[in-house]
Amino acid sequence: MQVLTDALAKAGQLSDAFICRVMEHKLMEMDRVLFEEQSLRKNWVVEHRDVPRELLTDHGLIQFSRRYYWNKKTGERRYLVDELVGIEPHE
């Protein structure tokens, strides 16, 4: 029984790590699409690139980088990908 229990625990760890890596990839892919498709970010220009972010989730640590934007009309500054997926500042 211990062998099965150990195997299930290892499978859970591998699944969690896989989920975190997929989320990292997807977040950076969304950031790339926002950058490349200017129609999705009218009046927003890149102020900083490759700004790192870490999120501790129930599945583990997610580490990714994204762009910081400045709005030419309003003067606002935001991480558009964070806003898109609902990540709160300082979360």
At residue 60, φ and ψ (nearest 5 deg) are 135, -165
Query: What pLDDT score does 11 carry?
Result: 78
What's the rounded Cα separation, in Å, for the pair 4 and 1? 5
Rounded Cα gap, residues 32 and 46, in angstroms: 12
The string of pLDDT tens digits covering residues 77-88 is 999 999 999 998
- For residues 79 and 68, is the Cβ–Cβ distance under 8 A? yes
Q: Residues near 42 by Cβ (< 8 Å), separated by ≥ 6?
A: none
Cα(78)–Cα(45) distance, integer angstroms: 10
pTM, 2 dp? 0.86
Q: What is the largest CA-CA distance in the chain?
A: 64
Mean pLDDT of 31-41: 96
Q: List pLDDT tens digits, range 49-74.
A: 999 999 999 999 999 999 999 999 99
Q: Are 44 and 71 in contact (CB under 8 A)?
A: yes
